């Protein structure tokens, strides 16, 4: 599904990613954890194609295509979805209209028929239940005046509607209370399927209580320094990142 090899990326001449290697097979859920400033969000943005980040080395293949060669919209149309850490406000643009426009672009790319407003309303009503949101929300402008929790639910709602094959969740748990966290996790779990993969970028372990990952990777200073199962996340929760930092430092000195 996704194969990241030796990925280096920089923003404004500052090297952030320094050789990421990661394989995500279909149906898997991977969690990427790490302290602040380790490059987690950069990795998410690079995968989605944000032009502020320059890839200086390495490659990313997605479903056997060169992901880095694709425009951000083509990546989206090919089933890559990024749930933003900071969803952007678009004043005056109706939420339902925004989402239907995106969905239709993706349906078009898949060679499927576009959805009219009536069919879309039916679909979105179901999905709204999933994230426990009220229908009145559709009439508001995209993310404008949304609370932090509403913005995150909106991201999950969009994901549920667009049905991506690869979902990247960038700190979707940050700033959520426990109820909202459960709703978001439930939304993600519902989408788990053998043909879909999820990459969860997070600082804290608590989201992983609700979305159980197949693999956990620790990202420090732009490199994945440890990979393991769910137990690695629990150890990080208990002991923090310092022990890994020390081990990494020793290795570096020893090398």
Partner 1 sequence: MPEPSSQAAPLSDTEVLEEFAQREYKEGFVTDVETDSAPPGLNEETIAFISAKKQEPEWLLEWRLKAYRQWLTMEDPTAQKASQRWAMVQYPEIDYQAISYFSAPKKALNSLDEVDPEILETYNKLGIPLQEQMMLAGVAVDAVFDSVSVATTFKDKLAELGIIFCSFTEAVHNHPDLVQKYLGSVVPTNDNYFAALNCAVFTDGSFVYIPPGVRCPMELSTYFRINAANTGQFERTLVVADEGAYVSYLEGCTAPMRDENQLHAAVVELVALGDAQIKYSTIQNWYPGNAEGVGGIYNFVTKRGACRGDRSKISWTQVETGSAITWKYPSCILQGDDSVGEFYSVAVTSGKQQADTGTKMIHLGKNTKSTIISKGISAVEGQNTYRGAVQIMKKATDSRNFTQCDSMLIGDQCGAHTFPYITVRNASSTVEHEASTSKIGEDQIFYCNQRGLSTEDAVSMIVNGFCKEVLAELPMEFAVEATKLLGISLEGSVG
Measured N-to-C along each axis, helices 178-190 and 117-130 cross at an angle, to the nearest 10 degrees, of 120
Which of residues 74 and 237 has its CB atom nearest to partner 1 in the complex? 74
Residue 101 has φ and ψ, to the nearest 5°, of -60, -45
Assess 112 for contact with partner 1 (CB under 8 A): no
Q: What is the closest distance, in whole angstroms, from the C-beta atom of residue 210 to partner 1 in the complex?
A: 24
In the block, tokens 């995500």 appear at: 24
Assess 73 for contact with partner 1 (CB under 8 A): yes
- Cα separation of 230 and 207, whole Å? 12
The single residue among 69, 88, 111, 178 that binds partner 1, judged by CB under 8 A, is 88
Nearest Cα residue to 32 out of 1, 71, 64, 4: 4
C-alpha distances out from residue 9 to 2, 57, 96, 132, 248, Å? 17, 7, 35, 38, 21
In this structure, what token pair is assigned to residue 182?
Answer: 């459960």
Q: What is the closest distance, in whole angstroms, from the C-beta atom of residue 99 to partner 1 in the complex?
A: 7
Which of residues 127 and 226 has its CB atom nearest to partner 1 in the complex? 127
The single residue among 34, 39, 58, 87 that binds partner 1, judged by CB under 8 A, is 87
The single residue among 68, 93, 130, 248 that binds partner 1, judged by CB under 8 A, is 93
Q: What is the closest distance, in whole angstroms, from the C-beta atom of residue 115 to partner 1 in the complex?
A: 13
- Cα separation of 86 and 95, whole Å? 16
Assess 141 for contact with partner 1 (CB under 8 A): yes
In this structure, what token pair is assigned to residue 185?
Answer: 């996790």
Stretch that binds partner 1, among 7-15, 86-94, 213-221, 242-250 (CB under 8 A): 86-94
Judged by the rule CB under 8 A, the positions of this chain that interact with partner 1 are: 48-52, 71-73, 75-77, 81-82, 84, 87-93, 98-99, 101-103, 105-106, 109, 141-142, 158, 162
């Amino acid at each position: 599904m996704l194969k990241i090899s030796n990925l280096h990326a920089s923003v404004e001449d500052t090297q952030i990613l320094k050789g990421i290697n990661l394989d995500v097979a279909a149906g898997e859920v991977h969690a990427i954890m790490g302290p602040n400033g380790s490059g987690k969000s950069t990795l998410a943005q690079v995968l989605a194609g944000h032009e502020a980040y320059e890839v200086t080395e390495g490659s990313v293949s997605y479903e056997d295509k060169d992901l880095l060669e694709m425009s951000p919209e083509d990546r989206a149309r090919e089933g890559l979805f990024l749930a933003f850490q900071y969803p952007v406000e678009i004043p005056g643009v109706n939420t339902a209209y925004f989402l239907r426009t995106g969905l239709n672009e993706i349906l078009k790319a898949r060679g499927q028929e576009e959805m009219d407003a009536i069919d879309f309303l039916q679909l979105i009503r179901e999905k709204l239940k999933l994230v426990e949101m009220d229908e009145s929300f559709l009439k508001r402008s995209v993310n404008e005046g949304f609370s932090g929790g509403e913005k995150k639910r909106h991201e999950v709602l969009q994901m549920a509607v667009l049905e991506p094959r690869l979902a990247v969740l960038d700190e979707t748990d940050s700033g959520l209370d426990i109820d909202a966290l459960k709703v978001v996790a439930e939304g993600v779990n519902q989408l788990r399927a053998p043909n879909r993969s999820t990459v969860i970028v997070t600082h804290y372990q608590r989201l992983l209580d609700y979305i159980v990952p197949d693999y956990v990777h620790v990202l420090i200073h732009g490199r994945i320094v440890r990979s393991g199962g769910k137990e690695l996340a629990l150890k990080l929760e208990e002991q923090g990142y310092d022990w890994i930092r020390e081990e990494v430092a020793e290795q570096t000195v020893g090398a």
